[in-house]
Amino acid sequence: MTQIRFALAQIDTCVGALDANAAKVLDYARRADAGHAQVVVFPEMTLTGYPIEDLALRRTFRRAAWDKANELAAGLKREGLGDLYVVVGTVGTDHATDKPYNRLVVLHDGVVWAGYDKHFLPNYGVFDEFRIFKAGDRSVVLDVDGARLGVAICEDIWQDGGPVAELAGRDIDALVTINGSPYEEGKTDVRLDLAKRRAAEVEAPLIYLNQVGGQDDLVFDGGSFVVDADGTLLARAPMFMEDLSFWTLDTTTVHQAKAEVAPALDPDEEVYTACVLGLKDYMAKNRFTGVTLGLSGGIDSALVAAMAADAVGGENVHGISMPSMYSSDGSKDDAADLAANIGAHYDVQPIEPLFTAFQSQLDLDGVAAENLQARIRGVIVMAYSNSKGLLAVATGNKSELACGYSTIYGDAVGGYAPIKDLLKTRVWELSRWRNRAAAAGVGIGGLRIVGNEAGAPGTPLKDGVMIPVASIEKAPSAELRPGQKDSDSLPEYELLDKVLAAYIEHAHGRADLLADGFDERTVDTVMRLVDRAEWKRRQYPLGPKVTALAFGRDRRLPITNAFRE
Amino acid sequence: MTQIRFALAQIDTCVGALDANAAKVLDYARRADAGHAQVVVFPEMTLTGYPIEDLALRRTFRRAAWDKANELAAGLKREGLGDLYVVVGTVGTDHATDKPYNRLVVLHDGVVWAGYDKHFLPNYGVFDEFRIFKAGDRSVVLDVDGARLGVAICEDIWQDGGPVAELAGRDIDALVTINGSPYEEGKTDVRLDLAKRRAAEVEAPLIYLNQVGGQDDLVFDGGSFVVDADGTLLARAPMFMEDLSFWTLDTTTVHQAKAEVAPALDPDEEVYTACVLGLKDYMAKNRFTGVTLGLSGGIDSALVAAMAADAVGGENVHGISMPSMYSSDGSKDDAADLAANIGAHYDVQPIEPLFTAFQSQLDLDGVAAENLQARIRGVIVMAYSNSKGLLAVATGNKSELACGYSTIYGDAVGGYAPIKDLLKTRVWELSRWRNRAAAAGVGIGGLRIVGNEAGAPGTPLKDGVMIPVASIEKAPSAELRPGQKDSDSLPEYELLDKVLAAYIEHAHGRADLLADGFDERTVDTVMRLVDRAEWKRRQYPLGPKVTALAFGRDRRLPITNAFRE
């Protein structure tokens, strides 16, 4: 009987941080060895971070990554970890063409022992790998203490054919896959179904090791797992946290033993946590310790502030109330209550004197005057950002951004937009979920998330309330003119969000939308709003581009697109 | 003896504008027929415009393009043009996979007669075709009135192998290539050398038909040509203008007759004209008739205003002088002089009262106070844009943008940035060139450019001056604090621009830059500035993204790149 004990090292890497990533590999390798593992598996492009974009094209970087891999292999051996097989991802080079590879290597016995280059280079959605990397063209089977391990990298298992098809005939004992698979809602099941199919194809258990953490505009959710050839889920790591778990392969049996299986999360908890992790890691990796944002008393800024408090603590959140002559007393109270609930700094900066000063020179009316109010607020938020070294976060949601219901250089200012991928109805749902979690004792910072592995309850909230109920329940308004309501300009959000999902995410054309059962007037209104907003955004490509999540397909259309369906 | 008369229809298309593009094809086909052509050749993706990005993925659009091609073929026949072979580009569909093709078709005798699909799909630099299109896999030879014509699309001739290699053995009489090749300085010679090589490879003349005009962030320069198998330049159309020229192939001789060869442009004229055409077409295709910008009295805003006047006439340029307490009298005078010289609208909006109003609430100092001044100006420019329906243009040059010497949401506001790809030393050179051209009688609107095909002298300038000499010659200053000079923060531009070209455009690393002969202190200063500016820009991806030209390679690096060379 041959048993191979695997350690699944689900870690959060940082792009370009070769030293820090290598140090983390060494740390987890020690812990894997202490847990008697023979093989420890890390995520895709462990040493370099992922995705590295055009950094892969810089020769100096590739040389440094290669040196780091060798130094790490030597260091492992020096510490007595030379027997361990350490499976990491890094960048390689094809010396004939000087093009980079997305490469898996095994560090063993002091050397960089074996290499496999990713075959399928995704360049759809958020991926751009075909632009950067050269494709590998051979499959690899590793002999590890008598067991035959096939390997593959991420997209290799999403496409038919290629290395998995080749491995199917080669009598492997397990298929080890290293992944950098960004979070999307519902993707957990999709990945698992895919892995079951590939495990059946190679007639062996499949190890799916995924990266965790926020990186630039993406969130990687972890949730690494092992699935048997018959489809049984044998082991699963938690989502959104770094983790080291163990699973043992027995090459003499067709039914493998189970290890620990982390339970699935509630859908609202999952999405909320993804948003918080995205913001937290964006700040950590860009060395920001605090955020600033405008607090209007509305639900969008309230939810973003709550997420920011969960990410970095309420004491690092600087909320600014910027009331105008059109702001209601209720809004001002709600903003103050929210700030108090999460323990944020809270300043009031009325914009009326500034608005009056501009108007005495410019004398604007209509939309220009409304935009002026939003832009004065943008200047104030950026002044806080510049003078206190805080990250400005934008509070726009997907519904209003899709419909152009925001002001560039105004409420759209910010380096990060945590809820850009949430439709308005989802903003309400997540706000209610966060209040329920608070009532159940999950205080600020109490989410199970990278950097807070214990998942402790966190700082308790006064009376268990986080987001004022009035912010959730009142009719949404931009408060840029007397009595203004979002519903003056937009369909009701319950309807609007359904049309937006069909039009944007499922690419339904006009005829499809009518066949979906939406009435003609609504369809034409929404299509007109979205097309015009896209056109404006392409003209001024300056709105919040950075997003926490890869929820929805973005349309990449030319600016001067004259085509109308 | 078989003679085939070709018409080279170098036209300016608009992305998505199927009706307008088809109407233009019909118009040029009539003129080709009137000139006794048997074949008329149009640029890549004529009917759809180019580049169409994700629009190609919309089935409704592909269906509309297909219908339009058939309707156009029928229309040509109805007008008695059925004998003409009309070579156009459009989008096709692979029905097995529902993926689009970048396709060349021939309209003849009332039908869409033959199809060729582009093999090589570029996805480097500004191109993203591999993401969108399916690659063709067969070469095509057209029999046209007894002559054998090979065809290829743009990138097909830039790569070895593929369709050109296949055509080499097939005894063709000419190779017809349709192109959407964006302007880069120096590319005219590169294209010609390449075409000579391919003509020799297929042992036949090569027709290179290029698109002309601005499209989104690109400028296509035209300059279509015919080159013989022995390398002789047989015909060449002018750059930056729509054009219909003729050339006759004689299949019975190895030495072809020459037609008209347009002379090469002066390098400064070429770059200046490219910038103007980019802005002019961006405005036309987005239906803007006027622009607004801040006029500081400095050279950057002066050059941009001159370009805008050349693009759309001085009467459609709205300059705003926004002096602060730190603005010199000379700067204010220079701004007023420039506006008068080009016949622009000119308003003065002092920012001191607004700055004072903000400061009474915010009490900022240092860089935050400097940024505040720039952002107040940004709000004013956008107020003009919103209230008068004008395109806001940003005036930043490549040197200051590369070094982060600008303010996001401040001087960086604008939907288009005409000189974003010009280093500061080039800004001075082009300003001097424009003044020389003005002295030689080239008034406003007098450039040879799309929409002004005659190349008339244009509206004369008072005393032949356009850009005040003081704006060109004075030491550059942002005037955000007393006595400030750019050289307080940056190396002198003559040196800085050389380092920037090496570091950014030629991707030289630190060791390379030292080997280039730059001193260590300068290299480290510039690398630190550029890396920090890139990092800021990636955090706030909101600066001027839209650019006239594809002059320099942009680095696409991850945001949280911790790697330092």
Residue A53 at interface with chain B, using a CB cutoff of 8 Å: yes
> Do residue B255 and residue B287 come from a single domain?
no
Domain presence at residue A522: no
Contact at CB, B361 and A354, closer than 8 angstroms: yes
A181 is in an annotated binding site: yes
d(CA A175, CA A196): 11
Q: What is the pLDDT of residues B128-170, one digit of tens each?
A: 888 889 999 999 999 999 999 999 999 999 999 999 999 998 9
Among partner residues B130, B285, B349, which is closest to A361 by beta-carbon distance? B349
Q: Which residues in chain B have Cβ-Cβ distances shorter than 8 Å to A380?
A: 358, 361-362
CA–CA min distance A174, chain B (Å): 33
d(CA B427, CA B268): 10
Domains: count for chain B: 2
B417: β partners: B547
Distance of CA B81 to the CA centre of its chain: 33
Q: Examine the fold and report which residue of B466, B484, B502 is the final residue of a domain before the chain moves on.
A: B484
Select from A62, A120, A547, A561 the residue whose CB has the most chain B CBs within 10 Å, as the one to mutate to test that interface: A561
Q: Which of B428, B402, B432 is nearest to B417 (CA)?
A: B402
Question: What is the bridge-based pairing of β-strands A111-117 and A39-41?
Answer: unpaired
Instruction: Give phi and psi for B208, each to the nearest 5.
Output: -110, 105
Section A462-481 average pLDDT:
90
Mean pLDDT of chain B: 91
Q: Is the pLDDT reported for residue A53 higher than 90?
A: no
Q: Is the pLDDT reported for residue A547 higher than 70?
A: no
- What is the enclosing helix (H) or strand (E) of B68? helix B59-78
Contact at CB, B371 and A386, closer than 8 angstroms: yes
d(CA B336, CA A103): 60
Domain presence at residue A325: yes
> Do residue A147 and residue A288 come from a single domain?
no
Structure tokens at B54: 């994700």
Q: Examine the fold and report which residue of A439, A467, A486 is the final residue of a domain before the chain moves on.
A: A486
The band of A548, judged by pLDDT with boundaries at 50, 70 and 90, is very low
Section B428-445 average pLDDT:
94
Q: Which of A474, A535, A525, A532 is nearest to A495 (CA)?
A: A525
Q: Which residues in chain B have Cβ-Cβ distances shorter than 8 Å to A361?
A: 349, 353-354, 380
Section B102-110 average pLDDT:
98
> Do residue A247 and residue A290 come from a single domain?
no
Question: Is the backbone peptide bond immediately before B51 cis, with ω within 30 degrees of 0?
Answer: yes
Please identify which of the residues B24, B44, B280, B403 carries the catalytic annotation: B44
| Model pLDDT, residue A55 | 83
A299 is in an annotated binding site: yes
The band of A554, judged by pLDDT with boundaries at 50, 70 and 90, is very low
Collapsing DSSP to helix, strand or coil, B318 comes out as strand
Q: Is B118 among the catalytic positions?
A: yes
| Interface predicted TM-score (ipTM) | 0.91
Q: What is the pLDDT of residues A328-359, one digit of tens each?
A: 999 899 999 999 999 999 999 999 999 999 99
d(CA B166, CA B488): 60
Q: What is the pLDDT of residues B313-333, one digit of tens each?
A: 999 999 999 999 999 999 899
- Please give the span between the terminal C-alpha atoms of chain A, in angstroms, as a whole number: 65
| Model pLDDT, residue A87 | 98
| Model pLDDT, residue B336 | 96
> Do residue B241 and residue B276 come from a single domain?
no
Nearest CA in chain A to B364: A387
Q: Which of A264, A335, A329 is nearest to A298 (CA)?
A: A335
CA distances in angstroms from B411 to B47, B190, B544, listed in the order given: 38, 36, 10
> Do residue B353 and residue B392 come from a single domain?
yes
Q: What is the pLDDT of residues B500-529, one digit of tens each?
A: 988 887 778 889 999 999 999 999 999 988
Strand ranges, E, within B417-485: none
Side chain identity at residue A140, one-letter code: V
Section B100-116 average pLDDT:
95
Q: What is the pLDDT of residues A250-267, one digit of tens each?
A: 999 888 999 999 999 999
d(CA B546, CA A535): 13
SS3 content of chain B, % helix, strand, coil (to 5): 40, 20, 40
Residue B439 at interface with chain A, using a CB cutoff of 8 Å: no
Q: Examine the fold and report which residue of B455, B484, B513 is the final residue of a domain before the chain moves on.
A: B484
Q: Which residues in chain B have Cβ-Cβ distances shorter than 8 Å to A511?
A: 60
Among partner residues A53, A382, A563, which is closest to B61 by beta-carbon distance? A563
Conformation bin of residue B150: beta by default, left when phi > 0, alpha when psi is -120 to 50: beta
Radius of gyration of chain B (CA): 25
Contact at CB, A541 and B546, closer than 8 angstroms: yes
> Do residue A165 and residue A312 come from a single domain?
no
d(CA A451, CA B7): 67
The band of A552, judged by pLDDT with boundaries at 50, 70 and 90, is very low
Collapsing DSSP to helix, strand or coil, A482 comes out as coil
Strand ranges, E, within B109-164: 111-117, 141-144, 147-153
Nearest CA in chain B to A15: B561
Contact at CB, A354 and B353, closer than 8 angstroms: no
Let me know: does B387 contact A383? Beta carbons within 8 Å.
Answer: no
Which residues have CB under 8 Å from B349's CB, separation 6+? A361, A362, B320, B321, B322, B380
| Model pLDDT, residue B359 | 98
Contact at CB, A17 and B562, closer than 8 angstroms: yes
Contact at CB, A559 and B409, closer than 8 angstroms: no
Q: Which residue has the tokens 């630099």?
A: B125
| Model pLDDT, residue B513 | 94
pTM: 0.93
Residue B515 at interface with chain A, using a CB cutoff of 8 Å: no
Section B471-476 average pLDDT:
93
Q: Which of A220, A225, A218 is nearest to A199 (CA)?
A: A225
Residue A456 at interface with chain B, using a CB cutoff of 8 Å: no
| Model pLDDT, residue B84 | 98
d(CA A221, CA A239): 5
Q: Is the pLDDT reported for residue A564 higher than 70?
A: no
CA distances in angstroms from B289 to B110, B276, B318, B427, listed in the order given: 39, 14, 11, 25
Helices A299-312 and A424-439 cross at an angle (nearest 10°) of: 50
Q: Is the pLDDT reported for residue A42 higher than 60?
A: yes
> Do residue B301 and residue B203 come from a single domain?
no
Contact at CB, A507 and B57, closer than 8 angstroms: yes
Collapsing DSSP to helix, strand or coil, B12 comes out as coil
CB < 8 Å from A in window 337-396 of B: 349, 353-354, 357-358, 360-362, 364-368, 371-372, 375-376, 378-380, 382-383, 386-387, 391
Q: Is the pLDDT reported for residue B204 higher than 80?
A: yes
Domain presence at residue B404: yes
Q: Is B269 among the catalytic positions?
A: no
> Do residue B222 and residue B331 come from a single domain?
no
Domain presence at residue A498: no
| Model pLDDT, residue B538 | 63
Contact at CB, B565 and A60, closer than 8 angstroms: yes
Residue B308 domain boundaries: 269-484
| Model pLDDT, residue B53 | 83
Domain presence at residue B203: yes
d(CA A190, CA B319): 56
In this predicted structure, which of A19-33, A158-172, B494-508 has the lowest mean pLDDT? B494-508
Residue A79 at interface with chain B, using a CB cutoff of 8 Å: no
Q: Which of A217, A235, A330, A169 is nearest to A10 (CA)?
A: A235
The band of A462, judged by pLDDT with boundaries at 50, 70 and 90, is confident
Among partner residues A54, A60, A130, which is closest to B557 by beta-carbon distance? A54
Contact at CB, B558 and A215, closer than 8 angstroms: yes
Q: Which of B215, B213, B234, B214 is nearest to B225 (CA)?
A: B234
Q: Which of A415, A419, A384, A399 is nearest to A274 (CA)?
A: A419
Q: Which residues in chain B have Cβ-Cβ distances shorter than 8 Å to A368?
A: 383, 386-387
Q: Which of B253, B162, B174 is nearest to B207 (CA)?
A: B174
In this predicted structure, which of A132-141, B90-99, B317-326, B457-466 has the lowest mean pLDDT? B457-466
Domain presence at residue B93: yes
| Model pLDDT, residue B368 | 95
Q: What is the pLDDT of residues A154-168, one digit of tens each?
A: 999 999 999 999 999
CA distances in angstroms from A214 to A185, A229, A241, listed in the order given: 15, 32, 11
> Do residue B26 and residue B61 come from a single domain?
yes
| Model pLDDT, residue A205 | 98
Contact at CB, B562 and A358, closer than 8 angstroms: no
| Model pLDDT, residue B563 | 55
Counting other chains too, the contacts that B60-66 makes at CB distance below 8 Å and 24 or more residues apart are B60/A509, B60/A510, B60/A511, B60/A565, B61/A563, B61/A565, B61/B16, B61/B91, B62/B91, B62/B92, B62/B93, B62/B100, B64/A563, B64/B18, B65/B18, B65/B90, B65/B91, B66/B90, B66/B92, B66/B93
- What is the enclosing helix (H) or strand (E) of B234? strand B233-236
| Model pLDDT, residue B408 | 87
| Model pLDDT, residue A83 | 97
Contact at CB, B372 and A357, closer than 8 angstroms: no
- Greater pLDDT, A428 or A536: A428
Say which CATH number the domain at A388 has: 3.40.50.620
Helices A267-285 and A299-312 cross at an angle (nearest 10°) of: 60
Q: Which residue has the tokens 């999902």?
A: A501
Say which CATH number the domain at A29 has: 3.60.110.10
For residue A560, the tally of other CB atoms under 10 A from its CB is 22
Q: Is the pLDDT reported for residue B547 higher than 60?
A: no
The band of A549, judged by pLDDT with boundaries at 50, 70 and 90, is very low
Which are the catalytic amino acids of A?
A: 44, 118, 154
Q: Which residue has the tokens 């993406």?
A: A218
Mean pLDDT of chain A: 91
CA–CA min distance A238, chain B (Å): 25
| Model pLDDT, residue A177 | 98
Conformation bin of residue B109: beta by default, left when phi > 0, alpha when psi is -120 to 50: left
Length of chain B: 565
CA dihedral B254, B256, B262, B264 (to 10 degrees): 10
Q: Is the pLDDT reported for residue A542 higher than 50?
A: no
Let me know: does B334 contact B472? Beta carbons within 8 Å.
Answer: no
Section A438-449 average pLDDT:
92
> Do residue B274 and residue B231 come from a single domain?
no
Residue B282 at interface with chain A, using a CB cutoff of 8 Å: yes
Domain presence at residue B515: no
CB < 8 Å from B in window 462-501 of A: none
> Do residue B403 and residue B427 come from a single domain?
yes
CB < 8 Å from B in window 15-44 of A: 15-18, 20
Contact at CB, A559 and B542, closer than 8 angstroms: no
Q: Is the pLDDT reported for residue B71 higher than 90?
A: yes
In this predicted structure, which of A488-502, B44-58, B456-470 has the lowest mean pLDDT? B456-470
Instruction: Give phi and psi for A383, each to the nearest 5.
Output: -65, -45
Q: Which residues in chain A have Cβ-Cβ distances shorter than 8 Å to B215?
A: 558, 560
Side chain identity at residue A467, one-letter code: I
| Model pLDDT, residue A287 | 86
Exposure class string for A122-144: b at 16+ Cβ within 10 A, else e: bbeebbbbbbbbbbbeebbbbeb
Helices B366-388 and A352-362 cross at an angle (nearest 10°) of: 50
Percent of chain B's residues with pLDDT above 90: 73
CB < 8 Å from B in window 116-145 of A: 123-124, 128, 130-131
d(CA A189, CA B254): 66
CA–CA min distance A10, chain B (Å): 20
Which residues have CB under 8 Å from B289's CB, separation 6+? B283, B312, B316
Section A307-321 average pLDDT:
97
Section B227-238 average pLDDT:
97
d(CA B127, CA B133): 12
CA dihedral B163, B164, B166, B171 (to 10 degrees): 130
> Do residue A226 and residue A275 come from a single domain?
no
Domain presence at residue B426: yes
Please give the angle made by the CA atoms of A561, B393 and A403, to the nearest 5 degrees: 45
In this predicted structure, which of A170-174, A278-282, A483-487, B24-28 has the lowest mean pLDDT? A483-487
